[in-house]
Chains A and B, each alone.
Chain A
Amino acid sequence: MSRLQVVSGKGGTGKTTVAAALALALATEGKRALLVEVEGRQGIAQLFETEALPYEERKIAVAPGGGEVYALAIDPELALLDYLQMFYKMGGAGRALKKLGAIDFATTIAPGLRDVLLTGKACEAVRRKDRSGRFVYDHVVMDAPPTGRITRFLNVNDEVAGLARIGPIHNQAQAVMRVLKSAETAVHLVTLLEEMPVQETADGIAELRAARLPVGRVIVNMVRPGVLDDADLDLVRSVPRAAVAKSLSSAGLGGARRGGTAQRLVDPLLAQADEYAERYALEQEQRAALAALELPVHELPLLAEGMDLAGLYALARGLREQDLS
């Protein structure tokens, strides 16, 4: 199992949720996982129902079996100062740079540098060892930028290594790329069973492959339960409305006669079944499109009550059962 698991996906597909569930799933049996947030949204804190995360690795959950999940919200500015201090012993210069506006420049105006810092910090956590020479984290899970930007984001160090052809940045950029392009890394894409996210997933995979970044798995999120099967859907088209009204009435939902409560339910319920049928057909098309990508595909259910901590643990269990961790 790769030590750095990057989770991307189209906006709105729930990649933060999947990343968090994956970290929980990976942290079982006494293992330690670090969940890293790079987009400054504090989505992890909200998901784990804790206060906003500082720029500090902090334990936020205990996984079943004694594992631990740590979380880190990477702040590009602090990461830059950190980095200056760590690699160049330039903490003081960092303050001067900040006063000059250079830190602002590096982290916002020149956004490429920002991505360098974010990927650099994540790779540092992957490689970090304790005194006994063991890795501090068994796994690092990154809640990464969306599919449209993921290849560029991960590849930024290649670009930087090309720009800065010598010097410490060059070396650092190459070290990061060595991690990102190795089998130590897997990039997973989260999607929904809808056309746009699936299309974007296919495009994203093509881009990742072209950039020789290691593609992991496709995770279909928020899959709705199957309620009606093909036979039901056939019957929906031909069933006499009066028969459904009678059936509803026998179930205790009022009168089946014209104008009766049960009778008035028939049309809306059949309309919902038609919508279901349409969506079901589209979903099957999207499943086929995903199967054509020739990657392992996993599905996670839609949680009817919305996402909460209990739901997150349920998703983590689902990932483990599907052998994703």
Chain B
Amino acid sequence: MSRPEPAQAQDAAHQPPYLSAARVLDLDPLLDDPRTRIVVCCGSGGVGKTTTAAALGLRAAERGRKVVVLTIDPARRLAQSMGIDSLDNTPRRVKGVEGDGELHAMMLDMKRTFDEIVEAHADRDRAAAILGNPFYQSLSAGFAGTQEYMAMEKLGQLRSRDEWDLIVVDTPPSRSALDFLDAPKRLGSFLDGKLIRVLLAPAKVGGRAGMKFLNVGMSMMTGALGKLLGGQLLKDVQTFVAAMDSMFGGFRTRADATYKLLQAPGTAFLVVAAPERDALREAAYFVERLAAEDMPLAGLVLNRVHGSGADRLSAERALAAAENLEDSGIVDQEDGKAGLRNSPDRQDSSASAASGPPDTGASAPDAGSPAGTDTEDSATEDAPRAAVQHVERSVDQLTAGLLRLHAERMRLLTRERRTRDRFTALHPEVAVAEVAALPGDVHDLVGLRDIGNRLAAHRHELPAPELPDRAAES
């Protein structure tokens, strides 16, 4: 893939909404490539990570691959759309997938995953001791952090089963999107650390001559820990650590293996973001971090982008035109009464709602408009002159509303573009796929398929750097 052309200097007002100096992320070749074995979707919370992961999984499956999607904490209806609302920690085949491929989906059950590791790596008595330990029960039930370890553990398990061509994994909604990268390392450093030895001290350290100084320190430490934690909790922790001791090597090995797996050529990271300052800041941070860790970044998925088919009409011009219509309405109104407000149900519409300062109250349009609009509509056909005038007035008013709506859209679009361009200026090497904002949420495979199309078809939507007349195309 070639480097992007440098951005051409353009009049800001004439930049098309999708224009960007960034490369376009072409997702189909990535999904189709048999060498792609893992796609990791990461990003801050609320940007549509899980939906993106599910849509990519479905798309890859419908393009013929055998795919499993590992979701961490899907919204209920999204999970239902894939038929995985049962939380049993194993991949289930999704019905309704078209084509030769297969889609499987699963939802991570942290506690179950943790329990399975214990059961698989400790003999029965020891496993029972661990599973019954109160400290273990708290830890495994999902304090923040456990999710990250277990997500990576599950990914490692799925990959080693080698049953799927492609694993698409969603990452936990962490404090920081990077937590899951750090989790295996943190576990490793803990396992190598001195603390473990301190905690195991009563059982292990006694007697070695060279360790004498350390021993004094350690008994002081356990004393301090005991004072702090309360003797019984310390005992629980110690029992837990002692019971887990035999398994630590396994943890360590697998954590390292998973980390290496993330760096392997078959892995592709997709950073998911929305065109908002915070989400893109997090995305930029992630991009830098992935580079530092030698993890392969495929690109950025920018969700919820607002475009417009009429993007040549600026917010300012649209507003001025709306005002024109409204003003002329008042001037032309022969009876000189309320002007364009002659229909009572319009009293409060466009003019007051959109021109004032941001309305802090609930500025929802009046839901209970009086009936009477129907007569307006039916009057369109053949009506007395007065009614025609009335309809024209309504059309002007509607048009003013359309223009105000457009102005609002253009302001949003301009802000989103600015935010995105800041990101692409800093990271021109990152390929970007933009997905238009949808009015509603995704509830079924049809919706996911639609998102998949948008993800992959984006390149066709990109206008050339010189602005084409998009309004003419529609």
Contact = CB atoms under 8 A, between A and B. Distances in A.
Interface of A: 10-13, 16, 39-41, 43, 46, 84, 88, 90, 93, 96-97, 99-102, 104-105, 108-112, 114-115, 145-146, 148-149, 152-153, 156, 159, 162-170, 194-197, 199-200, 223-232, 234-236, 238-240, 243-244, 246-248, 250-253, 259, 261, 264-265, 267-273, 275-276, 278-280, 282-284, 287, 299-307, 314-315, 317-318, 321-322
B86 interface: no
Of the candidates B278, B354, B367, B399, the one having the most CB atoms from chain A within 10 angstroms of its own CB is B399
Contacts of A170: 230
Contacts, number: 326
A322 B361 CA distance: 8
B369 A269 contact: no
A199 B441 CA distance: 12
B173 A269 contact: no
B405 A279 contact: no
B77 interface: yes
A97 B236 CA distance: 19
B10 interface: no
A229 B366 contact: yes
Nearest to B224: A93
Interface stretch (B43-51, B153-161, B256-264): B43-51
B193 A105 contact: yes
Contacts of A273: 401-402, 405
Contacts of B325: 247, 250-251
Contact of A228 (B78, B350, B392): B350
Contacts of A162: 134
Contacts of A246: 395
B335 interface: no
Interface string B378-408: 0010000000000110111111111111101
B398 A239 contact: yes
B460 interface: no
Contacts of B322: 251
19 contacts: A88-B227, A96-B217, A105-B190, A111-B145, A167-B230, A195-B440, A196-B78, A226-B364, A226-B365, A227-B349, A244-B398, A251-B322, A267-B309, A268-B308, A268-B309, A272-B402, A282-B439, A301-B358, A322-B360
Contacts of A111: 143-146
A12 B44 contact: yes
B304 to A, nearest CB: 9
B451 interface: no
Contacts of B46: 10-13, 197
B227 A227 contact: no
Contacts of B365: 226-230, 280
Interface stretch (B113-121, B340-348, B427-435): B340-348
